[in-house]
Structure 1
Amino acid sequence: MPRPPLLLLVLPLLAAQEPPPGPAAASAERRCFCQVTGHLDDCTCDIETLDAFNNYRVFPRLQTLLENDYFRYYKVNLKRKCPFWDVLSHCGIRDCAVEPCQSNKIPDGIKSAGYKYSQEANTSDQDCEEAERLGAVDESLSEKTVEAVRKWTQHDDSADSFCEVDDIQSPEAEYVDLLLNPERYTGYKGSDAWKIWNSIYEENCFKPQSVKRPLNPLASGRGENEGNMFYNWLEGLCVEKRAFYKLISGLHASINIHLSARYLLQDTWSKKQWGHNATEFQQRFDEILTQGEGPRRLKNLYFIYLIELRALSKVLPFFERPDFQLFTGDKDRDGEVKSLLLEILHLIKSFPLHFDENSFFAGSRREAAKLKEEFRLHFRNISRIMDCVGCIKCRLWGKLQTQGLGTALKILFSESQILSLPERGPSPSFHLTRQEIVALFNAFGRISTSVKELENFRNLLQTVQ
């Protein structure tokens, strides 16, 4: 028997603990969530089904998975120069900083794995033969040529990538413990943050020259009528370009939910308190305060959830191969973590209302290839903008979440290669680096957390007087 919608399960519990909300309270909850219900555009799924599936089944298992060593350590270069404009690191509070891991705190298996994801991948005969062959050649190569070969290899590896990823072999790349550096409100806002999102929306989302109004939801002067005109225009776009905007909007909404849910409520010399800020949430998602934009942003959150959920269902064969390990050096624990990972992926695979990605790039072969490449390049450019974020902690989570979404897109457009994977050994057509795996699951963990937090904000707004 299917579970009832999440809201129906929550309301009786609230009624037993709190008096009925007054008119103002009902209005606050209704203005954020009244439109966030029913079927999603371009999808066959409804929001109530997604809430129940995520909050009761996926979210608790995923949080347990992400607490394990394999997924908590992410190697990243937070010192890369912004390629578009000069950046002065700026943050409102000291919690903007990121504390990198000391080398002796990182499991040996993770440090030795490098780009690879398992012990077998590190020590396979093919890798050894390749290393021996290249070792014999390298002695006769100049440093300039060696660097050129390295760049050629990176170019080949990124041919199907939707992100420009860090060179984790760079001396500036460091491991970060994601559990000790959580995503939360840091005080990073104003013109610097506006510039980041403005560049993403205005320069990288698809917009014909005939559309003069800003895509950036933070731009001033966007009235409700103008917003309605924009969404009417958006519906006229092809499904791929419409999806691109919804993905960016959904990611933006998810980040704003995290910042509202882990807001700095108290900061004194003796105490710091982080928690839910309902007022901040309303500023970002209330229908009236956002001139009609807020509920649409929340629906786009569910859209990106469905996209990443579908990617995880597609990549199951990659992780099911017998020789795949989530290698940290602790054999027993690694086996347990892989079992949990497969349990989650099989659960996701069982979801009955997955997004149908076959609607993407379904035109002629030439048109589809051109549009897919344009789609990929736009997203790669967005991944480069993350190096322009002035708040270092915001940069960390921005880079991770864009790499995770880019990995999901890579998976969706690699179905034939995944289905033809060999049972053992490396594949010449599809592989995921450890960085991509860590980013993929942590990025989905962020989206999953956002969906779960909507339940908490619903409850809070019902009690607001």
Structure 2
Amino acid sequence: MGRRWVFLIGLVGAVWLLGSGHGGQQPPVTAAQRCFCQDEVPDGIKSASYKYSEVANNLIEECEQAERLGAVDESLSEETQKAVLQWTKHDDSSDNFCEADDIQSPDAEYVDLLLNPERYTGYKGPDAWKIWNVIYEENCFKPQTIKRPLSPLASGQGKSEENTFYSWLEGLCVEKRAFYRLISGLHASINVHLSARYLLQETWLEKKWGHNITEFQQRFDGILTEGEGPRRLKNLYFLYLIELRALSKVVPFFERPDFQLFTGNKVHDAEKKMLLLEILHEIKSFPLHFDENSFFAGDKKEANKLKEDFRLHFRNISRIMDCVGCFKCRLWGKLQIQGLGTALKILFSEKLIANMPESGPSYEFHLTRQEIVSLFNAFGRISTSVKELENFRNLLQNIH
């Protein structure tokens, strides 16, 4: 399944739209949401006139390390450009968990994800911490008086603060606990990728990427993280099961005759759809999915309010990702947040999916091209993280 999955990602989800804010605008600036860092993307990359030029693709060599490794290769083949525009015409729309970038905005750019893999970019330190701090502190239903364990922006933390945090977390309803675990799992997954595709050596001839065991241990070793690392990895597996469950439940949407991939070639459309359904049916046969029936199972009015809170919090996190200074980090951060938001949208739309007509427009449940690309690429990233954990485990065993 692994090779087929990679092949599918390359065909279904290679191109994603990255906008600058929403319709070219940054999110409203508040004390909680201001952009904490300067825009590090070279002007040539942002300029529409450079969009597919050789200059834009070579600018990466002229910047400092964080800018250089974080820059995005924006080149698309002519065939891919036509296919994207064709698919856009067939997009559906609905209330989404994440802010959708305006396709018509002059700042919106289509990015070939295969040319821009997620890996170490040099973007770290206070700027990166502040972005994640805003996400955790103000969007995970947490009061300011409760401090997260090992928060790099908090000082003087000890065991008592850790105990207080987890006592508070256990006291939350299952939905809010799940929300925190999903964000923590996503954060862990991103850190696994950065440790697995780390810039080990760079010369003027080539860059050598590989597994950085020290970096991985600093983030996840039980002793070095005072027990926090293993919790993060458990949350990663939790996220994996959530997205796996969503893929299994959305199969009827992709089975409909009206659903097409619009690769630009009708024969390829049919072939790729068969491949997609083959993988989705294999996922559906997996017996140990997450059971979401315990979510929003109480009072209907309260459940609907909580569900709306979920949606608004995810939309807010999507906006916060626009403040990330590293272009490539912003690309993959927004994509994975939108992929997770799409997974939640699917899980919370079970009745709508069940009532879809067999043919014709589906007015109750829709997935846009952007959501589909995000969904599959996000799950591809989480699946890669799970595989990389096995690789790191083997590397650590060889050391000892």
Task: Identify whether the pair has TM-score above 0.5, normalized to the shorter chain.
Answer: yes
CA distance in 1, matches of 2:164, 2:270: 53
**Aligned-pair CA distance for 1:230:** 1.9
Farther-moved stretch of structure 1 (397-406 vs 95-104): 95-104
Q: Does the aligned pair in 2 maintain the 1:234–1:242 contact within 8 Å? A: yes
**What is the match of residue 6 of structure 2?**
63
CA distance in 1, matches of 2:114, 2:126: 29
Aligned amino acid, residue 86 of structure 2: S
**What is the match of residue 445 of structure 1?**
380
**Aligned-pair CA distance for 1:416:** 0.6
Q: Does the aligned pair in 1 maintain the 2:197–2:211 contact within 8 Å? A: yes
**Aligned-pair CA distance for 1:100:** 1.4
**Aligned-pair CA distance for 1:401:** 0.5
**What is the match of residue 362 of structure 2?**
427
**Aligned-pair CA distance for 1:336:** 1.5
**What is the match of residue 31 of structure 1?**
none
Aligned amino acid, residue 19 of structure 2: N
**What is the match of residue 97 of structure 2?**
162
**What is the match of residue 75 of structure 1?**
17
**What is the match of residue 99 of structure 1?**
73
**SS of match in other structure, 2:115:** coil
Query: How do 1:191-340 residues align onto structure 2 when only pairs under 5 Å count?
Result: 191-208=126-143, 211-214=145-148, 217-220=151-154, 221-340=156-275
Q: Does the aligned pair in 2 maintain the 1:115–1:434 contact within 8 Å? A: no
TM-score w.r.t. length of structure 2:
0.87
- Give ranges in structure 2 of 5+ residues lacking alignment: 28-32, 41-64
Change (3 A) 1:336 1:102: closer
Give 1 or 2 for the bigger CA radius of gyration: 1
Aligned amino acid, residue 361 of structure 2: P
Change (3 A) 1:102 1:453: closer
**What is the match of residue 353 of structure 2?**
418
**What is the match of residue 299 of structure 2?**
364
**Aligned-pair CA distance for 1:331:** 1.8
Farther-moved stretch of structure 1 (218-227 vs 410-419): 218-227
Cα deviation digits, residues 234-288 of structure 1 (max 9, x gap): 1221100000000000000000000000000011112210111011000100111
**SS of match in other structure, 2:13:** helix
Aligned amino acid, residue 71 of structure 1: G
Counterpart among 371, 374, 391 of residue 456 in structure 1: 391
Change (3 A) 1:415 1:115: farther
**What is the match of residue 55 of structure 2?**
none
**SS of match in other structure, 1:264:** strand
Q: Does the aligned pair in 1 maintain the 2:86–2:262 contact within 8 Å? A: no
Counterpart among 21, 34, 46 of residue 85 in structure 1: 34
CA distance in 2, matches of 1:455, 1:92: 28
Higher relative contact order (CA 8 A, sep 6+): 1
CA RMSD of aligned residues (A): 1.9
Q: Does the aligned pair in 2 maintain the 1:227–1:293 contact within 8 Å? A: no
**SS of match in other structure, 1:66:** helix
Q: Does the aligned pair in 1 maintain the 2:146–2:164 contact within 8 Å? A: no
**Aligned-pair CA distance for 1:334:** 1.7
CA distance in 2, matches of 1:186, 1:109: 30
Change (3 A) 1:431 1:370: same
Q: Does the aligned pair in 2 maintain the 1:249–1:297 contact within 8 Å? A: yes
TM-score w.r.t. length of structure 1:
0.75
Change (3 A) 1:316 1:237: same
